[in-house]
Amino acid sequence: MSATKSTRKTYKAPLPGEEIVISGIAGRFPDSNNVEEFKNNLMSKKDLVTDDDRRWKLDHPDIPQRTGKINDVNKFDALFFGVHFKQAHTMDPMCRMLLEHAYEAVVDAGINPKQLRGSRIGVFVGACFSESEKTWFYEKLQVNGFGITGCSRAMLANRISYWLGVTGPSYTLDSACSSSLVALEHAYRCLIDGQCEGAIVGGSNLCLHPYVSLQFSRLGVLSPDGRSKVFDIDADGYARSETISVIYLQKAKNAKRIYATLVYGKTNCDGYKEQGITFPSSKMQSKLMKECYADCNLSPNDLSYLECHGTGTKVGDPEELYAIETAICKERTNPLLIGAVKSNMGHSEPASGLCQVVKVIGAMETGLIPPNLHYNRPREGLKALEDGRLKVVTELTPWNGGYVGINSFGFGGANCHIILKSYTKNKINNAAPTDDLPRLVTVSGRTEESIKVFLDDIEKHPVDTEYIRLLHDIYSDDIQGHLYRGFTIVGSKTSERSIRETENYLGAARPIWFVFSGMGSQWPGMGMYYINFHNKIKK
């Protein structure tokens, strides 16, 4: 009790506008090229773990063939990110993709990356193993030195800071499976303490080398059939999976869009355990959750959903559910809905925490909790499941939002718990304009095709003045490396077809070619000569 009282003093409810919010999200997930695809796949109960040979062709009895795989690992726009081609070829794919999704998360928050240069933005990345460094450090006959800067885990965060030109804290954390959620907690603390004014939080995991999977298999944590049967009586381990995900945090008063409020986050460690370092501790997990809600003066009844760590291992699930039972269920008057995204996509290890966050944000946006897969009968001896105090979500479940808890536990005993709150905002008239004026929307991109895709997406949706304002904030200034610009006019009542144009932009300043002063220099017939090329003037 004394520990709880002492920790309470460290939490102070933020003033209005000072709340820490998630304002940008991006990433790619197993067979999901972006957040929207991932959300739709979760909602449709798609099993994102596959048994194809995209990563390796090795028939080994101890290596499960089913893993969750992301797409386009081999692609990277080095020129856009200012990376020398020699460096790009010896750069860890995790580093390349974190750069891409950091850019996307910043833009998703309605921010032009140029606006961040010189600001105290922190970068916090959760990562563990690099399964590509062996290729560049130990197998290549030609060593050019770029392997050091390409495969150092420090560079996962530092290169993002370098490219954006931001000066806040920048480091990579490794607490095993809880790495990305611990990175999120670190970012939260730095924002609260004033060490940075915004934060980029990333998580990365790739399964590129079969013998890393062999190590996990012989540790006894992988499911032989490659299915994460979380909370089920047949649970026998998890499927390994890949993810690269990034979110952007800032204070509510500075945010242009808000996905969720990050209410609180806290970590602890199991310490010594007689059963061994990898054995989870329900006692310390329970202690962490109790302290989190006591610190915030939240009642267990305030929690509307809990996204569990939920690996599907024989030891991990019972320990976690017992911790939830003792920390939360004893004081609840209604069942607590629980789930675990690992049942849908496998375990992306250090990146798994951000997968949980993205799943929860998808539920907040849609008002529907995605269902768990591979759950048929509850594990025996788990009283809270058997008597209904805990209820696993197995079908799309309507949800009114509220407070959400997220658990993430590392195999070395590093535990993290995060509390999110759904953001409720009523758009007046669904942000439709109150007039019939047409709106000009300008965008830029690397290719002409990207402009076309972007404009097509804008035109197929009803006019949303808030979204248009967000786009104006991003594209009103140049984004270095964007070679094409385009525009469309939406909401026009004078034309049934869309009015749009795309043009290559080389960045060169154009000379002045027409001047009209408008100050007493007019006379009848002036400008008649220019009618001959009025189409050019019109353009």
Residue 228's identity, in one-letter code, is S
347 is catalytic: yes
Q: How far apart are CA 36 and CA 481, in angstroms?
A: 25
Strands (DSSP E) contained in 433-490 are: 439-445, 484-490
How is residue 322 annotated by DSSP? H
Strands (DSSP E) contained in 401-506 are: 403-409, 414-422, 439-445, 484-490, 499-504
Q: How far apart are CA 335 and CA 385, in angstroms?
A: 10
472 is catalytic: no
CA contacts within 13 A on the Cβ side of 331: 13
CB-CB neighbours of 513 under 10 Å: 7
Q: How far apart are CA 99 and CA 157, in angstroms?
A: 9
Catalytic residue, chosen from 101, 347, 417, 482, is: 347
How is residue 370 annotated by DSSP? P
First to last CA, the chain: 73
Three-class SS of residue 97? Answer: helix
3-state helix, strand, coil in the chain (%, to 5): 35, 20, 45
- Alpha carbon of 91 to those of 94, 95, 142: distances in Å? 8, 7, 15
**338, 245, 285, 345: which is closest to 42 by C-alpha?**
345
**364, 373, 483: which is closest to 39 by C-alpha?**
364
Contacts of 254 (CB under 8 A, 6+ apart): 197, 198
101 is catalytic: no
Catalytic residue, chosen from 177, 196, 308, 416, is: 177
Cβ–Cβ < 8 Å for 92, 250: no
Q: How far apart are CA 157 and CA 174, in angstroms?
A: 12
User: What is the rounded radius of gyration, in angstroms, for the C-alpha atoms of the chain?
Assistant: 26
**Helix or strand (DSSP H, E) at 205:** strand 198-205
How is residue 527 annotated by DSSP? T
DSSP letter string, 62-80? TS-S-BB--S-TT---TTT
Three-class SS of residue 327? Answer: helix
Residue 88's identity, in one-letter code, is A
Look up tokens 């990562």; give the residue: 127
Catalytic residue, chosen from 186, 309, 417, 482, is: 309
Give catalytic residues, as residue numbers: 177, 309, 347
